Chains A and B, each alone.
Chain A
Amino acid sequence: LSSDQLDEDAWEEIEDTLVTADVGVTAAAQIVESLRTKVKVLGTRTSADIRALLRTELLAQINPELDRVVHTEPRGESPAVVLVVGVNGTGKTTSCGKLARVLVGDGRSVVLGAADTFRAAAADQLETWGGRVGAPVVRRDEGADPASVAFDAVSRGIEDAADAVIVDTAGRLHTKTGLMDELGKVKRVVEKRSQVDEVLLVLDATTGQNGLRQARVFAEVVNITGIVLTKLDGTAKGGIVIQVQRELGVPVKLVGLGEGPDDLAPFDPEGFVDAILEAA
């Protein structure tokens, strides 16, 4: 926001900043519209004031009050069960590993379930993560039924009196009904053995407007309870989650900041908003 004059260019600049962060053109226009109204009411004039108002507006959109707790506490004797889902290559397996690392670091015991029985070497990848962070992995041969692997993992968690079971699933595009049905079945089969405490949708921060479509379908099929926004260590801002949260009410709970075991952090609304505004 370079200009002190609140001309049309300045407003356009704000909208551009939001669009460039993948907030979406309609959402960006709405945010600017509501900002313009506020500016009119408050009689704000300087670009510094506008900037502050924009920040407040974006924070309100993100809603810092939302409950972002990741439910990984065991329920009495039963381990917490976390299901990790999303489209191909977003960072599900990596996020499973990182989350296990956080929990093990807190002195809790974790079982990992390799319910991606499809992708080449997916279970090996999870096993490597298990070895890194100190969590056993329940796996089966390639092509095995993912639902029964997930079931086995949860059973193992219960038998071992583990604190948490984290189930990795295969990447699947939300448009593939067969694969989405399969995912629904994974969840239903697990629920025969235990409650599912968290269903985390892993969204890649570089994703554009398709992210909303992904979230809609995954929410419908497995009732997602939180978002993990990965690859925020790059130049992408992940602005699509504003629409996702607004429409579905599902909060971003965690962010991925790299490929290492410690590169997972709680979602920080202020940091997220400031990164979007950095470019302004």
Chain B
Amino acid sequence: MFETLSDRLTSVFSSLKGKGRLSEEDIATTAREIRLALLEADVALPVVREFIAHIKERARGEEVSKALNPAQQVIKIVNEELIAVLGGETREIRFAKRPPTVIMLAGLQGSGKTTLAGKLAKWLVAERNTPLLVAADLQRPNAVTQLQVVGERAGTQVFAPQPGNGVGDPVEVARESIEHARRNNHNVVIIDTAGRLGVDDEMMQQAADIRDAVTPDEILFVVDAMIGQDAVNTAQAFLDGVGYDGVVLTKLDGDARGGAALSIRHITGRPIMFASTGEKLEDFDVFHPDRMASRILDM
């Protein structure tokens, strides 16, 4: 068993003698190995297909036929293409001309939104901002309490006028938070929302209503790096249902290969902005496309 794509392709090409164009058979075998590697890394099937078609195109070209080591050349191409998709325009949080800057978080249940809210707050405080955390998840048991604890750890205030656990209107809370932030000189507002499924129309409408009540400067889609093939459905459902400007990949401290990063970026074109890498509030980083590419390829 060859573990890495590099090993596999080296073995595919080992029968090749010297320079020369790859035969269609060589290219097909190469494509199969890349397909396998990407699927094992949880890249979504439709994305794998398009990606492979593109790689095949390049594998037929001169850069491979002229290479001393075609296997390494193909790997290099795959890596480059991955980085190209994952990277593109990486960018930072856009601050509003007129404060407060409003950041809204959305995503599936348990993806890491509330924790991320605390991480963003802590990071913003360190950058001399005065963020306000807003408890607009009034659904999950003790989501409000959780955000209060997180806010305390981050050293920020938490706007939590409603107890939650089914009591209170999240749209109203979000709306009021903007006024509250203005009065109390918070230059950034971070709105934590309930986890929801892509197929839950009612909850998706609620997210859209929160959005319309606060017109966020950034909506961030928070997604677990362990997600499998469903990443495409979910990413698309949130894009259609509430829309988003950027993506945050969480739980990257584990050993998930994180193929979802490629899928989501490919399907939605939205940049991956941050990486969440642990349970503590400082476990947070900007997204590195090159590291992600190596991770997906397991190299």
Contacts and interface: CB of A to CB of B under 8 A. Distances in A.
A173 B237 CA distance: 27
A206 B165 contact: no
A234 interface: yes
B142 A209 contact: no
Interface string A53-93: 00000000000000000000000000000000001111101
A120 B146 contact: yes
A229 to B, nearest CB: 13
Contact of B228 (A125, A132, A209): A209
B93 interface: no
Interface residues of A, number: 45
Contacts of B230: 22, 206, 234-237
Contact of B141 (A25, A125, A173, A240): A125
Interface string A15-57: 0100111101110000000000000000000000000000000
B207 interface: no
A121 B149 contact: yes
Nearest to B44: A20
B228 A235 contact: no
A213 B139 CA distance: 32
Chain A contact residues: over half helix, strand or loop, or mixed? loop
Given A87-B226, A235-B198, A120 B149 contact: yes
A231 interface: yes
A218 interface: no
Contact of B227 (A19, A24, A91, A208): A208
B96 interface: no
B226 A208 contact: yes
A17 to B, nearest CB: 10
A174 B254 contact: yes
Contact of B226 (A20, A119, A207, A237): A207
A211 B223 CA distance: 16
Contacts of A20: 45, 229
A206 B146 contact: no
Contacts of B148: 121
A206 B150 contact: no
Contact of A125 (B42, B142, B227, B254): B142
A233 interface: yes
Interface residues of B, number: 45
A12 B140 CA distance: 41
Contact of B234 (A22, A26, A235, A240): A235
A198 interface: no
Chain B contact residues: over half helix, strand or loop, or mixed? loop
Interface stretch (B80-88, B107-115, B211-219): B107-115
A213 B256 CA distance: 9
Contacts of B165: 128
A118 interface: yes
Interface string A116-149: 0011110011011100100000000000000000
Interface string A219-258: 0000000000001011111001000000000000000000
Nearest to B260: A208
Name which of A21, A125, A209 has the most chain B CB atoms within 10 A of its CB.
A209
A173 B254 contact: yes
28 contacts: A20-B229, A22-B228, A22-B230, A88-B110, A89-B111, A89-B251, A118-B279, A119-B146, A120-B145, A120-B153, A124-B146, A132-B141, A174-B255, A175-B254, A204-B224, A206-B226, A206-B228, A206-B230, A207-B228, A208-B42, A208-B226, A208-B256, A208-B260, A209-B257, A233-B197, A234-B198, A234-B199, A235-B234
Interface of B: 35-36, 39-42, 45, 108-112, 114, 139-142, 145-146, 148-150, 153, 165, 197-199, 224, 226-230, 233-234, 237, 251, 253-257, 259-260, 279
Given A234-B108, A259-B139, 16 more contacts: A26-B36, A26-B40, A87-B251, A91-B110, A120-B114, A120-B150, A124-B141, A124-B146, A125-B145, A127-B142, A206-B224, A208-B228, A209-B42, A231-B197, A235-B234, A235-B237
